[in-house]
Amino acid sequence: VQLVESGGGSVQAGGSLRLSCAVSGYKISSSCMGWFRQTPGKEREGVATIGDPGTTTYTDSAKDRFSISQDKGRSTLYLQMNSLKPEDTAMYYCAANIFVDAPRLRVAAEYKYWGQGTQVTVS
């Protein structure tokens, strides 16, 4: 199983980025996928998740600004991030697991497979 993130970079506040996570060796349909972020010295935070049949969840700070989606045909997960703020600066990771209980969808420990991360810097 391999998850490879891309799309990170440096952007000014108010700008947008779209992160991608290419998945191989794993069927993203009928599973839970998520985007997490982490800054030095802090725990990995669940930003957004998507499950079967497309139910999404967002952390409060991401609601109305971020949108998670997936292209099952291309086995790719996306995170569209708009109206970016300096506090969104972090390393962003995508993650996957076959099943995660609903109350724990944004808990990093519940996910088995992880990408290497892509850095997002907002100034």
pLDDT tens for each residue of 50-60: 987 789 999 99
Q: How many residues are present in the chain?
A: 123
pLDDT at 15: 98
111 contacts 51 by C-beta, under 8 angstroms: no
What pLDDT shows up at residue 28?
81
Instruction: Tell me the average pLDDT across 2-26.
Output: 96
pLDDT in tens, 89-116: 999 999 999 889 988 999 999 999 999 9
Summarize pLDDT for 35-82 with one digit per residue, the tens.
999 999 999 999 999 987 789 999 999 999 999 999 988 899 999 999
